[in-house]
Structure 1
Amino acid sequence: MYRFLLTPRWLGYLALTLVAAAVMVFLGNWQLERYRGRTAINERIDAGATMAPAPLRDALPAPTGGAGTTGPAPAERVTWTLATATGRYDTDNIVLVRGRTANSTVGFEVLTPLVLADGTAVLVDRGWIPPVPGGDATAQPSVPAAPTGDVTVTGRVVSSESGGTVDRRNGKLETRRISVPRIAGQLPYPVAGGYLLLDQQTPAADPAFQSVPIGHTNNWQNFGYVVQWWLFAGMSIVGYGWVARREARRAAGLDKPRTPVDRAAEPASSAVT
């Protein structure tokens, strides 16, 4: 009954089905890796709320180049964990990151380089501030003064963002993206390859700053894609088998077409009295 499966046409159908199923399995495996990666990020975010902060150099290796260069990017395993450092804020090179949202309001995140004892620096995201009242979202806000003297900060280790340009306006650097290498190119010292999202500071941070919210990744969306692609792969194999079985039964005469019934020719039923 199934010798027709060895014909070129059906062999082609089989090859197409297997290729499609293999691609779907690959896509499912890819989404599974993304699910695992995002789950690990969420776990580090949760663990960071209670963990003891590590020294900065354990998370962000010291840059070894000259002024305007960056050190190695933080390893994935340390992103969103806590690190601590002591230095002095460079208030001459404050960076305003525009277009940032907190509590449904578009404002600015304020980055300030923390210059360490070895002459290198790490960017510290001190928090979010609203735009100027009555002004547009691009009007530079009044930035609370940074503490003078030695400052100890504890914050989440965050990887550099990509893209964006850095310009200087009214004495402050401005950007749309926290691209550490591009910001470092505007600074007179080497900079760590990631930045710190401030959690605690001594002396205390100005209350005008709002904490930048840390959002968990939507890892369950990726898990849903895993199930979806693997189901599609299984359905393509089952579908091939169903079509092949139907063709085999038709060729064997087991599935004969039914004679259509002419309902108009049937006698009318007697009325019940």
Structure 2
Amino acid sequence: MYRFLLTPRWLAAAALAVTASVVMVFLGNWQLHRYHERSAINDRIDAAATGSPVPLTSVLTRPGAPGKTGPNPGEALAWTKVTVTGRYDPAHEVQARGRTVDGSVGFEILTPLVLADGTAVLIDRGWVPPASGGAVAAPVAPPAPAGTVTVVGQVHRSESKPAPIGHRDGRLDTRRVSLPRLAAEMPYPLYGAYLLASSPEPGFTAIPIDHEDAWQNGGYTVQWWLFALMALLAFAWQARKEAHGDTPGAARDRVSEADRAASDRTASDGSAAAVVPAARRPE
């Protein structure tokens, strides 16, 4: 009944169904991997909110030459809560424009904190609104504290999309916090990540840390795996219909077989009729 599955047309359909299913299973596995990655990030965010800070140098690798950054800490260390002590350098302060907090567009103010060993780490001291005159009007931000300060913050990786860096109202001005580019503007080695201040100074709004949407990836995982199963079930359903004669192709095959059978019977009857008269001719 299922001998038709060995025909080229059905072998090609089977290969297509299996290939599609394998691809969709791999896509589902990739989404599952992203689900675990994002869940781990959310766990670190939650742990940092309640955990005790650890020294900066136990998390980030010390940078080398001036004008350069240290190694990128990697995603596994993002949002770790750390503590560091140093002195602010307002002469190399950075304003990152076009930053949105609670639906309002403004600026994040990042000030280098110079450590005792001569290296520095950028501290995102918080968000401030623009001055009157529009969303790009340079903000008025509280000055950085003088003297030695201890800062507690969470590790934020360098933003991957670089942007031009200019000078505006005594600050470095940029759209993206790209540490390799900003390091070239600094007179000291810069750590490969910056810190979001956990307790912003008066006049600043804390930068919210949004959780990753891990459940979206979990839903995509199930969706791709269901698609893979549906591809195989669709092939099996179509093959069953073909086997039971429920498809136009099967109906055409039945008509062709009936026509061939009728032709064979007609040819057979004609041959018999030709033989009988020949047998009755007198010698």
Q: 2:137 corresponds to which residue? A: 139
* Residue 181 of structure 2 is aligned to residue 178 of structure 1: no
In structure 1, what is the Cα distance between the partners aligned to 2:246 and 2:73?
65
* Residue 175 of structure 2 is aligned to residue 169 of structure 1: no
Aligned residue identity for 1:156: Q
Task: Sort the Cα spacing of 1:3 and 1:256 in 2 relative to 1 into closer, same or farther, 3 A.
Answer: closer
In structure 2, what is the Cα distance between the partners aligned to 1:103 and 1:63?
34
In structure 2, what is the Cα distance between the partners aligned to 1:212 and 1:189?
26
Q: 1:24 corresponds to which residue? A: 24
- Which aligned pairs between 1:2-21 and structure 2 lie closer than 5 A? 2-21=2-21
Alignment TM-score, normalising by the size of structure 2:
0.85
In the TM superposition, what whole-angstrom CA distance separates every residue of 1:14-54 from its partner, at most 9, and x where no partner exists? 11111111110111011111111000000100000111111
Equivalent pairs counted in the alignment come to 249
- Select the residue among 212, 215, 224 that pairs with 1:220: 215
In structure 1, what is the Cα distance between the partners aligned to 2:217 and 2:164?
32
Kindly indicate whether the alpha-carbon contact (under 8 Å) linking 1:59 and 1:75 is maintained by their aligned counterparts in 2.
no
Structure 1: 4+ residue segments shifted above 4 A? none
CA RMSD of aligned residues (A): 1.6
In structure 2, what is the Cα distance between the partners aligned to 1:251 and 1:154?
72
Structure 2: gaps (5+ residues)? 253-283
Structure 1: gaps (5+ residues)? 258-273
Kindly indicate whether the alpha-carbon contact (under 8 Å) linking 2:87 and 2:146 is maintained by their aligned counterparts in 1.
yes
Kindly indicate whether the alpha-carbon contact (under 8 Å) linking 1:113 and 1:122 is maintained by their aligned counterparts in 2.
yes
Alignment TM-score, normalising by the size of structure 1:
0.88
Kindly indicate whether the alpha-carbon contact (under 8 Å) linking 2:125 and 2:201 is maintained by their aligned counterparts in 1.
no
Structure with more of its chain in helix, by fraction: 2
Q: CA deviation at 1:81?
A: 1.4
Kindly indicate whether the alpha-carbon contact (under 8 Å) linking 2:126 and 2:207 is maintained by their aligned counterparts in 1.
yes
Aligned residue identity for 1:162: S
In structure 2, what is the Cα distance between the partners aligned to 1:93 and 1:21?
55
Q: CA deviation at 1:251?
A: 8.0
Q: 2:117 corresponds to which residue? A: 118
- Which aligned pairs between 1:34-49 and structure 2 lie closer than 5 A? 34-49=34-49
Q: CA deviation at 1:76?
A: 2.5
Identity of aligned residues (%): 56
In structure 2, what is the Cα distance between the partners aligned to 1:256 and 1:155?
73
Kindly indicate whether the alpha-carbon contact (under 8 Å) linking 1:126 and 1:198 is maintained by their aligned counterparts in 2.
yes
In the TM superposition, what whole-angstrom CA distance separates every residue of 1:125-178 from its partner, at most 9, and x where no partner exists? 000001113x11111111211111101001001111012221112221011111
